[in-house]
A and B are shown apart, each in its own frame.
Chain A
Amino acid sequence: MSKKIAGWGNFPICNPESHQSPATKTVCQSLMAARPCLARGLGRSYGDAANFENIIDTKRLDHFISFDEDFGILSCQAGVSLNAILSIVMPLGWFLPVTPGTSFVTIGGAIASDVHGKNHHLNGSFSDHVISMDVVLGSGEILTLSADEYTDLFLATCGGMGLTGIIFSVVLKLIPINSNKIQQQVIRTPDLEQTLAQFSKYSDSTYSVAWIDCLASGAALGRSLVILGEHCAGESLAPGNNSSLIVPKCFPSFVLNKYCIKAFNSIYHRKSLRTHTESIVNYRKFFYPLDNLQHWNRMYGSNGFVQYQFVLPKDGGFEGMKEILVKIADSGEGSFLAVLKEFGVNNGNYLSFPIEGFSLALDFKLNQKVIKLIKELDEIVLRFNGRVYLAKDSLMTESTFKSAYPQWEDFMQVREKYGAIGKFSSDLAKRVGLV
């Protein structure tokens, strides 16, 4: 009997039949002979992307292999976390080329979800910086993939949600830095139009993101704090400490009610009197504001929550975003964390989420009303030719998925070609028809 597992949203919950943690390549290969399986890292995808009946946990595949500190080329096993990488490479003047909003993800998971960061508009997704990776196929054979070798399988594996094989090890190109600090600018905007305009105005800024008050309505619809960042020039390179607070298991989820959230959002939006402020902040505060609050997902209670993230193409994106924000504001089911980001061009991976346009991510405490709301949002997103992020989704239907990700058929052909069908699967794959 294995323990129950779930994604970061604690929904849906899955009861796997087996949960194995291979420690070597040989053991990993030998496990391929048995039942269909799925690699799982730190379980930070939100929905059911890392849920399945047979789990290959990569927690013991957590070794560094080599690091070229002159050129910033790191080689490590798939179970190494981004946090572990930073602790080693930052003191030597290197940083992750792309990082999501938490450092507690594995590098294998970062590739499988092809995660993006605040620099997507300039630097693309995580997999765009992968030089090569070793992947265990369903036959047990290991192939070294890159943009030039086994290109089709590389494109399918990056963003492929673990459905093409087990990523065993990765070679990644890092970026040089001179400081662990970020020069941050915060710009307060009164409405959606102004918010989106800031992204165009500051398109040269390395990092850009907006915190949006999705409970504001009327003239204030889409009011935001646009946050820009650049790596500082000098000073210390120390990676800094993790974790100070832990949310207890019994945290009362009623604390997060709509009145509290509305009040918080209003105060946060006006926390500075000036509309434009500049400061220097530690990189952890800038990139990983919630990593110091361990188990913050417990704040949403035992029923869990859904993080809904979609992207709309630029063409029509403003109208679509407006329609969705009105819908959310009307529903009153908002969240603390609503994050707006402008994406650059799509990288051509079959299932990678980012397409050029605007993306919004927000949390909903789970209840029946929210499930209905998300179905409605899915329809609007589809109507504006957008798509929902698989690493966060737990509710999308097969037909919505297949309309939003038109390259799913190419993806399946590559899976067929490399013997992945019937060997790798997940609860998400079954739900959206990638079987």
Chain B
Amino acid sequence: MKNILIIGAASAIAEETAKIWSSEGCNFFLVGRNLERLESISGDLVVRGANKVICSCLDLSDLDLHANLLDEVYTALPYLDVALIAHGVLPDQNECEGSVGKTLDDIKINALSYISFLTLLATRFEAAGKGTIAVMSSVAGDRGRKTNYVYGSSKAMISTFCSGLMQRFSESDVNILTIKPGLVSTPMTAGFDKGPIWSDPSAVAKKIALGVAKGNSVVYAPAFWFFIMLVIKSVPNKIFQRLNF
């Protein structure tokens, strides 16, 4: 029976992924901000087949609490097969441009808290010699754009950090999976007008579950984003400057 840790378990994509895993009868340790929401998700996962679900509520931006949280996790579950890190906020780009404090706060929750968890988890997984750390990055991290570079630079940091970890663990059975979703209809993006290239969280969740099962290193979700980003990354700066997206 698999043991799975999900940090940011109330995120729509994380929840959909947990639903897929629950049908395999896993044990879950869910971490999030709102205990009421976590307990609601917990009940749902049990009906869907999960064996045991433990919930813990935490302010993830308080980095000093991370080590204790992992002690709690490993007390409840002796080992982890999968750790999925999926929390985050979508910063208000305009507000960030006028505020150092706001920018750094958003980078703290979207990037530094990930680095903190990744560092701690890498040590634990290295000792175990197996398992998958799946990490929510984003296509936004592939190239900075004026409309969301505060968010994008946090995701770029995660992608680069994970790339390094992946190489570090190349000789072991520990897998690092970097997930790069495109535009996804979630509560985080509720204010956007949605077009045909938007996906549902459940479609991204399927890619994550598959990526974990197959031991992939990087997955774009849906896959066509790989090609979109290939084009965007290859646009020369001279032209990129003039683009408006």
Q: Does B59 contact A (CB under 8 A)?
A: no
B48 x A64 contact (CB < 8 A): yes
Q: Would A21 and B37 be within 8 Å (CB), given that A64-B44, A66-B43 are in contact?
A: no
Interface size of B in residues (CB-CB distance below 8 Å): 13
A64 x B187 contact (CB < 8 A): no
Report Cα–Cα, A24/B34, bound state, in Å: 9
B41 x A63 contact (CB < 8 A): yes
Residues of chain B from 16 to 63 with CB closer than 8 A to chain A in the complex: 34, 36-37, 40-41, 43-44, 46-48
CB distance from B48 to the nearest CB of A (A): 7
Query: Nearest residue in B to A26 (C-beta to C-beta)?
Result: B36
B47 x A65 contact (CB < 8 A): yes
A24 x B36 contact (CB < 8 A): yes
A63 x B190 contact (CB < 8 A): no
Residues of B within 8 A of A26 (CB): 36
Report Cα–Cα, A77/B44, bound state, in Å: 10
Q: Does A60 contact B (CB under 8 A)?
A: yes
Report Cα–Cα, A77/B39, bound state, in Å: 13
CB distance from B55 to the nearest CB of A (A): 13
Q: Would A66 and B190 be within 8 Å (CB), given that A24-B40, A25-B36 are in contact?
A: no
Residues of B within 8 A of A60 (CB): 187
Report Cα–Cα, A63/B43, bound state, in Å: 7
Query: Nearest residue in B to A19 (C-beta to C-beta)?
Result: B190
CB distance from B199 to the nearest CB of A (A): 15
Q: Does A88 contact B (CB under 8 A)?
A: yes
The interface centre, meaning the residue of B40, B48, B187, B190 with most chain A CB atoms within 10 A of its CB, is B40
Residues of B within 8 A of A67 (CB): 47
B187 x A23 contact (CB < 8 A): yes
The interface centre, meaning the residue of A60, A63, A65 with most chain B CB atoms within 10 A of its CB, is A63
Number of A-B contacts (CB under 8 A): 33
B47 x A64 contact (CB < 8 A): yes
CB distance from B222 to the nearest CB of A (A): 17
A63 x B44 contact (CB < 8 A): yes
B36 x A65 contact (CB < 8 A): no
Report Cα–Cα, A356/B165, bound state, in Å: 69
Interface of B: prevailing SS: helix
Interface of A: prevailing SS: mixed
Report Cα–Cα, A6/B190, bound state, in Å: 19
A21 x B43 contact (CB < 8 A): no
Report Cα–Cα, A76/B48, bound state, in Å: 12
A64 in complex: contacting residue of B34, B36, B37, B43, CB < 8 Å = B43
Residues of B within 8 A of A25 (CB): 36
Report Cα–Cα, A20/B41, bound state, in Å: 19
Residues of B within 8 A of A62 (CB): 44
Residues of A within 8 A of B43 (CB): 63-66
The interface centre, meaning the residue of A23, A25, A26 with most chain B CB atoms within 10 A of its CB, is A23
CB distance from B194 to the nearest CB of A (A): 9
Interface membership of chain A positions 6-44, coded 1 if the CB is closer than 8 angstroms to chain B and 0 otherwise? 000000000000000101111000000000000000000
B37 x A23 contact (CB < 8 A): yes
Report Cα–Cα, A62/B40, bound state, in Å: 9
A66 x B36 contact (CB < 8 A): no
CB distance from B39 to the nearest CB of A (A): 9
CB distance from B205 to the nearest CB of A (A): 14
The interface centre, meaning the residue of A24, A26, A88 with most chain B CB atoms within 10 A of its CB, is A24
CB distance from B235 to the nearest CB of A (A): 31
Residues of B within 8 A of A21 (CB): 187, 190
Residues of B within 8 A of A63 (CB): 40-41, 43-44
Residues of A within 8 A of B44 (CB): 62-65
CB distance from B35 to the nearest CB of A (A): 10
A88 x B34 contact (CB < 8 A): no
Report Cα–Cα, A67/B41, bound state, in Å: 14
Residues of B within 8 A of A24 (CB): 34, 36-37, 40
Report Cα–Cα, A26/B34, bound state, in Å: 11
Residues of chain A from 59 to 98 with CB closer than 8 A to chain B in the complex: 60, 62-67, 76-77, 88
Known pairs A21-B190, A24-B34, A67-B47. 11 more at Cβ < 8 A? Answer: A23-B37, A24-B36, A24-B40, A63-B43, A63-B44, A64-B44, A64-B48, A66-B46, A76-B47, A88-B47, A88-B48
Identify 21 residue pairs between A and B in the complex whose beta-carbon atoms are under 8 Å apart, listed by A's number.
Answer: A21-B190, A23-B10, A23-B37, A23-B40, A23-B187, A24-B34, A24-B37, A25-B36, A26-B36, A60-B187, A63-B40, A63-B41, A63-B43, A64-B44, A64-B48, A65-B43, A65-B44, A66-B46, A67-B47, A77-B40, A88-B48
Leading 9 A-B pairs by shortest Cβ distance: A64-B47, A63-B44, A24-B36, A64-B44, A67-B47, A63-B40, A65-B43, A24-B37, A23-B37
Give residues in A with beta carbon < 8 Å to B.
Answer: 21, 23-26, 60, 62-67, 76-77, 88
Give residues in B with beta carbon < 8 Å to A.
Answer: 10, 34, 36-37, 40-41, 43-44, 46-48, 187, 190
